[in-house]
Amino acid sequence: MPLITVFTSTYNRANLIKKLYYSLMNQECKDFEWIVIDDDSIDETKALFDSIKDEDPGFAITYIKQPHGGKHRAINKGVKIARGKYFFIVDSDDYLFSYSIKIIKKWINDSDENLNLAGVSGLRQYPDGNVVGEFPNRILFRKISFIDVKNTDRYLFKLLGDKAEIYKTELLRTHPFPEFDKEYFITESVCWNTLAKEGYKIRWYNVPVYICEYRPDGLTCSGANRFEGHKENYRGYCYQVECSLRQCRCYEAVTFFREYNNTARYLGKNLEQRAKDIGLSRVSYLTYLVKLPFLYSFRMVIKLLRMII
């Protein structure tokens, strides 16, 4: 059985996913499988995988085409059939360094017995060599190569920006993404933050293992996690906000609440409906509105603290 399942959800990326395939072929360690869930592509994606099914790249490939359902449904399906102990989501327009699986395997072997860890993570890097986001090279003036932190504490510990997380597959099986009828996006944080609320941490490493481009036609740039996306996937968005208010630190939750309040107001929701949609009473909602300036002031204090850590 492979140690790692590399998982890719794809849609009309036949011309790009080849680069990921070649990067997997060039891995120094082949202790992984590759599961590809095709979200009903209409290009040559299926023909591409038909053409490589008889090749021997050194790892197993599972290709499944399913009706359009969005990335979160594809992940749920991939987790169900994954054979790897760990689950590594790699997008179809991204790719890996030749050493990536090898070093991830080492990280897993070094931490696998730690029951408080949900997984490990490296950094993402742009093709030009610049690292995505941030990493705390020092904690209280002590240089570090990794740090164990919950997903909900990333702001405080200077871990903002997309990372290359590899989660324990069994934890993802028991914490699937919610699926709302006729909605096709929900942010992955609803799963990662639930695990954090249960006490699980990630071991974050200061090593790039993932190369990404953030193409204009990609999910990140599509607006799915902005106003238009919130409107189209409203129930899932409300679920995310409700979870964030329960799971995140107050200085993080306030940003989700303010964005939600603005979104719901633009959608014409009255105060009572706004509260109901995120599982709050009218009084609790009003209390949040009153506390907004104080919570943002506290967030500024945390921002100053981040400069010292």
- Distance CA(125)–CA(279), nearest Å, equals 38
Region 137-149: mean pLDDT is 83
Please report, rounded to a whole number, the percentage of residues in the chain having pLDDT higher than 70.
97
pLDDT at 142: 79
Region 37-48: mean pLDDT is 95
Whether the pLDDT of residue 197 is over 90: the answer is: yes
Confidence tier at 218 by pLDDT (50, 70, 90): low
Region 116-129: mean pLDDT is 97
What is the pTM for the complete model shown? 0.95
Other residues' Cβ atoms within 10 Å of the Cβ of residue 110: 12
Backbone region of residue 89 per phi and psi (left: phi > 0; alpha: psi in -120 to 50; beta: other values) = beta
Confidence tier at 220 by pLDDT (50, 70, 90): low
CB 152 within 8 A of CB 197: yes
Comparing CA positions, the residue from 55, 26, 50, 24 lying closest to residue 38 is: 50
Q: Which domains does the chain have, with CATH numbers?
A: 4-211 (3.90.550.10), 227-308 (no CATH)
List Cβ neighbours of 269 (8 Å cut-off, separation of 6 or more). 277
Confidence tier at 240 by pLDDT (50, 70, 90): very high
Q: What is the pLDDT of residues 254-303, one digit of tens each?
A: 999 999 999 999 999 999 999 999 999 999 999 999 999 999 999 999 88
pLDDT at 196: 98
Residues β-bridged to residue 95: 211
pLDDT at 307: 76
Q: What is the pLDDT of residues 9-23, one digit of tens each?
A: 999 999 999 999 999
